[in-house]
Amino acid sequence: MSETRAARPSRIDRVLNLVERVGNKLPEPFVLFGLLFLVVVVVSTAVAAFGVTVRIPGADEVTPIRGALSGEGLEFLFTKMAENFIGFPPLETVVTIMLAVGLAERTGLLTALIRVAFGGAPRWVLPYAVGLVGIAASVMADSSMIIIPPLAALVFKAAGRHPVAGLLGGFAAVGAGYSTSPLVTSLDALFAGISNKVAETLPDPGTAVTPVSNYYFNLVSSIVLGLLAGLLIDKVIEPRLVRTGVSREASGEGPEVKAELEPAERRGLVWAGVAFLLTAAAVLLLVVWPGSPLRNEAGGFLPKSPLLDSVTTLIFLGFVVPAIVHGALVGVVRRAADVPKLMAEAIRELAGFLVLAFMLGQFIALFTWTNLGAWVAVSGADLLRAIGLDGYPAFLGFMVLASVLNLFIISGSSLWTLMASVFVPMFVLLGFEPGFAQAAFRVGDSATQIMTPLNPYMIIVLGYLRRYEPAAGMGTLVARMTPFVIPFWLVWALILTVFYFADLPLGPGMGIRTAP
């Protein structure tokens, strides 16, 4: 009798199984985005036929919805196909980073580093370490969504835990917590610039927003959400993976690595560390040099500078240089020609993503060109204003709207540009600081992006997941991510609620309400 009871799925399992079954009935991602592309073609043409326009606050003129089947639209479709593919924003990041990370993986550097770093760590600590590191990893921008999940899988496997729990937990922590970090990131500077640009159009714009205006809120949020991610990995995700019998071994995986390093591996790891420090020192010297080309025109680094635009390059160097040194010392890299061969092996694993990126690029480019995204965002904002929400309920509605729109507009900067133009003036007129509206946006901006097929990095993680579950579909991944979405949103909103009602500063010099 007890065995029968134990075999019954829990309520959470039943809900997630339903999500997985429904989600897996969706077409393959390439077909799905092909269909969505056709939907945008039809909807944009129909809406444009009625002469619909959208007025984006701050813009001098109204913005028309453009039809894909108009003369202008057909010209766009026929002349921009290759550009839409090559210009697909995540493509340059994914391919560049995978060249470097793939080399580090195939020279054995990553495996050796993981074995040393986590070999003696208590197993119970790992989920929380992955959660905290994942939340902080947004300092690497979008690269974090490529780097953290497979590294977390390696960490879990080395400790004898389920690698898929590390993979999924790492992606969830990075994606659902992307808008916060205990470190000041380029995203803070980007958001601040958008907030100020919108607020300065008002007679009384409130306190100017800086990259640290949300720092206290971010610090508390990142710690709490990192620990929450660890708890969910440990108590929900991994037990469910065990119950459902998900394989711990990836297809095509080599033999189990030993915990102890061979002498050559230790030597390679030491010299790889030396190479990393020398590379970092060279970059630092270039950065601190008074006439550094990595500084902005004012001689600084914030809010925007070549240095902040070089995150992908810095990560590339941080992986490639130590990987080559380690590979040479362990005998994997015997000649220069071995380096591009190892990189090519990494790129071969991206073949599926590259094919999908073609269709993703076409869909996103058309969706943006038609101005449907701006129309949806402004219409949602108008709806909130029509309801007459004010005070804290208005911010709750604002956060919900941001979460819904985030399913369709993945770029945080693009979404904040649209929403800030409407809501920052609205909230300032209600007596709230622009920095508080920005903090509320962070809550709604990230949580739902780990469950939408429009997130291109979902496809990367799905590829990793299929190494363990060959039959996994998008519904499988969405079901695995669902336990993170609602807890993250609720806890993050609760943190903002505490700041709101306790009237705590969000960061240096940034309060909740404007001065009377």
pLDDT tens column, 97-134: 788 888 988 898 877 876 776 656 688 888 999 999 88
Q: Does residue 325 lie within any of the structural domains?
A: no
Instruction: Tell the residue number behind the tokens 């009377």, with chain if given.
Output: 516
pLDDT tens column, 279-314: 999 999 988 887 888 888 777 776 567 887 787 788
Q: What is the C-alpha separation between 454 and 472, in angstroms, rounded? A: 18
DSSP-based three-state secondary structure for 432: strand
Q: What is the C-alpha separation between 384 and 386, in angstroms, rounded? A: 5
Q: Does residue 226 lie within any of the structural domains?
A: yes
Instruction: Tell the residue number behind the tokens 């970059």, with chain if given.
Output: 283
Residues 46-55 have a mean pLDDT of 90
Q: Does residue 17 lie within any of the structural domains?
A: no
Of residues 285 and 187, which shows the higher confidence score?
285
Q: Does residue 172 lie within any of the structural domains?
A: yes
**pLDDT for 256 beyond 60:** no
Q: Does residue 244 lie within any of the structural domains?
A: yes
Closest CA to 116 of 12, 244, 265: 265
**pLDDT for 393 beyond 60:** yes
CB 266 within 8 A of CB 253: no
Report the predicted TM-score, pTM, of the whole model to 2 decimal places.
Answer: 0.71
**pLDDT for 441 beyond 90:** yes
> ω before 303 within 30° of 0 (cis)?
yes
pLDDT tens column, 3-22: 334 445 666 666 656 655 66
Closest CA to 138 of 496, 449, 405: 449
Q: Count other Cβ atoms within 10 Å, centred on residue 30.
A: 16
Q: Count other Cβ atoms within 10 Å, centred on residue 238.
A: 21
Q: Does residue 369 lie within any of the structural domains?
A: yes
Of residues 502 and 410, which shows the higher confidence score?
502
Residues 387-391 have a mean pLDDT of 68
How many domains does one find in the chain? Answer: 1
Q: What is the C-alpha separation between 301 and 306, in angstroms, rounded? A: 8
pLDDT band at 2 (very low <50, low <70, confident <90, very high): very low
Q: Does residue 455 lie within any of the structural domains?
A: yes
pLDDT tens column, 208-227: 888 888 999 999 999 999 99
Sign of the CA dihedral 131, 133, 135, 137?
Answer: negative
The domain of 216 spans 76-262+333-502
pLDDT band at 329 (very low <50, low <70, confident <90, very high): very high
Of residues 194 and 3, which shows the higher confidence score?
194
Q: Distance from first CA to last CA of the chain, Å, rounded?
A: 68
Give the helix ranges, DSSP H, for 120-176.
126-136, 144-158, 163-176
pLDDT band at 203 (very low <50, low <70, confident <90, very high): low
**pLDDT for 252 beyond 60:** no
Q: Does residue 449 lie within any of the structural domains?
A: yes
Lowest mean pLDDT among 189-193, 359-363, 444-448, 500-504: 189-193
